[in-house]
A and B are shown apart, each in its own frame.
Chain A
Amino acid sequence: MPPDAPPTRSLLVIEDGHEYEEFARLFLADGFAIRAAHSAAEALARLTEAPADAFLVDLRFERSPVEHLIGDVDATARRRFAGDVHRAVRYLKEQQGTLVLGRVRQAGFDGPAVFVHDFAARRLANLRKLYGDVHAVPAFDAEAIRRALTGGAP
C-alpha cells in the first residue's frame, strides 16, 4: 500500500478500557481503520453502522459495570458456583470477551478475532470450535497481532 493511502480494512476493538484501542491506533492504524466498543451492545451498534473485517478483543472486562455485562448472572451462579452471585459476576467479567465475540458471531460477523491472551491450546481449540476464526497472541506484539488480524498465524 502506498504510504499515504487510507487503510482498506476495518478493525473493531472491543474492551472495557482504552489500552487496546491506544495500542491499535499506535501500531495498527497503517493497515486498519479503527473503531472501538466497550460492551456487546456497543459492538453490535458499531457493526450495524458499518461491518468490520477483524476484531481485537480483550478477554477480561473487570471495569465494566454489571449492567453492561452479557451472560445470565443468576443462572451462572446456580450452575457453576452453588448460587454465589459474586463469584458468578467475577466469572462473567473474566470471560466477557468470549461472550461478546459470541454475540458478534451470532450477528453474522465472522472476521478474524484476536485475543491478546495466553490461552492453553485446548481452550483455544474450543474457542475456534465455537467462534471460528479465533487467534491468541500472548503479548502485545504488534507484528504478531497484525498477522493474526489478517488471518495468518501469529
Chain B
Amino acid sequence: MSPWQRLAHDVGKYVARAARNLPASGPVPAVLVGMLVDDLFALRDGQPASAVFAELRAELEERGEEPRLDAVEAHLVAIDALEEAVRRGEDGAVRAAAEHACAVEAELRALAEARA
C-alpha cells in the first residue's frame, strides 16, 4: 500500500465513517454524534484525525514527495475548531464537521487515485 493509499485509507475512509451516513434532515441522534466524535477526535489510539494525518503527511515529506495536501489540512483544522461544539452535540457544528470530513475523504481518495 502506497503512502497515498494509506492516507486515503487510514484517514479518509475512517474519518467519514459516520459523517457520510448522517440523516439528511432533523436532529442527528446522539449515538451517531458519538461515532462521529470517535472518528474525528479519536481516530487512532485516541489521536484526532488531524494528528494521524500529520503523521502520515510527514512520512510523505520525508520521502521527498510534494504533498499538495493543504486543502485537506484546512478541512481538518476546521474540524478541530469545531470539537467542543460537536462534543456538545450542537447540530450545526455536527453537520459542518461532517461536511469537512466527507471533503477530506473525497480529496484523499482523489489524490490516491491520481497516483495509482
User: What residues of chain A have their CB less than 8 Å away from a CB belonging to chain B?
Assistant: 19, 22-23, 26-27, 60, 94, 116-118, 120, 138-142
CA distance A46 to B86 in the complex (A): 37
User: Is the CB–CB distance between B35 and A142 below 8 Å?
Assistant: no
* Residue in chain A with minimal CB distance to B112: A118
Residue from B1, B13, B32, B116 in contact with A120 in the complex, judged by beta carbons closer than 8 Å: B116
CA distance A140 to B35 in the complex (A): 13
User: Is the CB–CB distance between A138 and B109 below 8 Å?
Assistant: yes
CA distance A117 to B109 in the complex (A): 11
User: Is the CB–CB distance between A26 and B32 below 8 Å?
Assistant: yes
CA distance A88 to B21 in the complex (A): 36
Interface centre among B1, B21, B35, B113 (most CB of A within 10 A): B21
Residue from B8, B13, B21 in contact with A27 in the complex, judged by beta carbons closer than 8 Å: B21
Residue from B1, B16, B32, B116 in contact with A139 in the complex, judged by beta carbons closer than 8 Å: B16
User: Is the CB–CB distance between A139 and B35 below 8 Å?
Assistant: no
Hey, which chain A residues are within 8 Å of B16, CB to CB? Answer: 139-140
Majority-rule SS of A interface residues: loop
Hey, which chain B residues are within 8 Å of A142, CB to CB? Answer: 21
Hey, which chain B residues are within 8 Å of A60, CB to CB? Answer: 1, 9
Within 8 A of A (CB), among B35-87: 35
CA distance A94 to B113 in the complex (A): 19
User: Is the CB–CB distance between A139 and B13 below 8 Å?
Assistant: yes
User: Is the CB–CB distance between B13 and A116 below 8 Å?
Assistant: yes
Hey, which chain A residues are within 8 Å of B18, CB to CB? Answer: 26, 140
Hey, which chain A residues are within 8 Å of B14, CB to CB? Answer: 19, 140
User: Is the CB–CB distance between B8 and A26 below 8 Å?
Assistant: no
CA distance A117 to B12 in the complex (A): 11
